[in-house]
Amino acid sequence: MAVYTDLGTERLAALIAAYDVGDLVSAKGIAEGVSNSNWLIETSGRDGGTGSQGARFILTMYERRIETADLPFFLDLLDHLSAAGCPVPRTIHDRDGASFRMVDGKAVALIEFLPGVSIDDPDEEQAHAVGVALADLHLATRDFAQTRRTSLGIPTCVGMVRDHAERLGEVDPALPDILRDCGASLLESWPEGLPDGTIHADLFPDNVLFVGEQVTGLIDFYFACTGLLAFDLAVTHAAWSFAATGNDFRPSIGGALMAGYESRRPLTREERRALPILAQGACLRFVATRGEDWFATQADGLVRRKNPMQFAQRLAFYRDRGEAAFQS
């Protein structure tokens, strides 16, 4: 999340008035992520009253990397998962029933605000809970009829890295050496025929909310797609199993996450064997997108850039450790 577009108070108030959520009380830009503009919205509440807390929402303007044609998939998925009992925010529909609106040629959506905080240093119980929540998400979408092909498949990500090959050394001199030949290797060995379904594909710690040890929110579904379920687990393992500072692997956290997931949905033998290559593909994807953002992000935007070197190091780890990295 971030803020690229400045919407004044009057325009925000007029936009919120299209929803049955009360009057705008406050709007605060959120300085996280790099793809959208986001605001924390507080209103007087659906009935227009002045309750002690009012009502809170997240307002998102889709700026880049997200096609408007994909929004029905994303927003309907939120509603499906919420109705299934998953800790996922509902889409707030406007008075005409639309799940998103257009402002200056850009789509905007209002999403339910969920309680909780994201954590930088999870403990084993929290990691286990995330594994459970991810498996429950996969099980809950078995009857979700819509599909979406990812725009960040492995061939695309390999191409993105190659497009920036001459500049990767500007990020870190060691980055080109780590990535050398990994694209061809992934393309040759990428698994097929594994169980698939609807996946989150971006379940980082900042996309999970906790109250204590309980998962209270899975958020930011804008990379969700139809894909390999084990790939989603590999993405989550790569995002959670390393120290936030220093990038050291934390086997107890990775093991707890795996145990939580398999307590709900045991992996097949083929999925488990594929995890090392899937994790390398996950890491390459984040190297590719972070590299692109590193060179494209506005220097004066309310944006926090993320260094692609972090996931290049994790890619090398999975390449070296193989299946041993996923012991629970």
> How confident is residue 163, by pLDDT bands cut at 50, 70 and 90?
confident
Q: Are 168 and 177 in contact (CB under 8 A)?
A: no
**Mean pLDDT of all residues in 105-122:** 95
What are the tokens at 314?
A: 């994790």
Tell me the C-alpha distance between 187 and 157, whole Å. Answer: 10
Q: Which two tokens stand for residue 243?
A: 């120290």
Distance CA 262, CA 249 (A): 21
Q: Pick from 53, 221, 228, 208: which is nearest to 153 by CA?
A: 228
Supply the CATH classification number for the domain 124-326. 3.90.1200.10
Longest dimension (CA), the chain: 61
CATH 3.30.200.20 given to domain 9-112: yes
Write out the H or E segment, with its range, that includes residue 181.
none
For residue range 194-231, list pLDDT tens digits in order: 999 999 999 999 999 999 999 999 999 999 999 999 99
Strands 106-112 vs 196-199: parallel, antiparallel or unpaired: unpaired
Structure tokens given for 121: 């240093």
- CATH 3.90.1200.10 residue spans of the chain: 124-326
pLDDT digits (tens, 9 = 90+) for 294-308: 877 655 555 566 788
Q: Please give the pLDDT value at position 49.
A: 46
Q: What is the pLDDT of residue 51?
A: 46
Delimiting residues of CATH 3.30.200.20 domain(s) in the chain: 9-112
Mean pLDDT on 154-165:
90
Task: Count the residues in the chain.
Answer: 328
DSSP code for 203: -
Query: Please, what's the b/e burial string for 65-90 (b: 16 or more CB within 10 A of its CB; e: otherwise)?
Result: ebeeebbebbbebbebbbebebbbbb
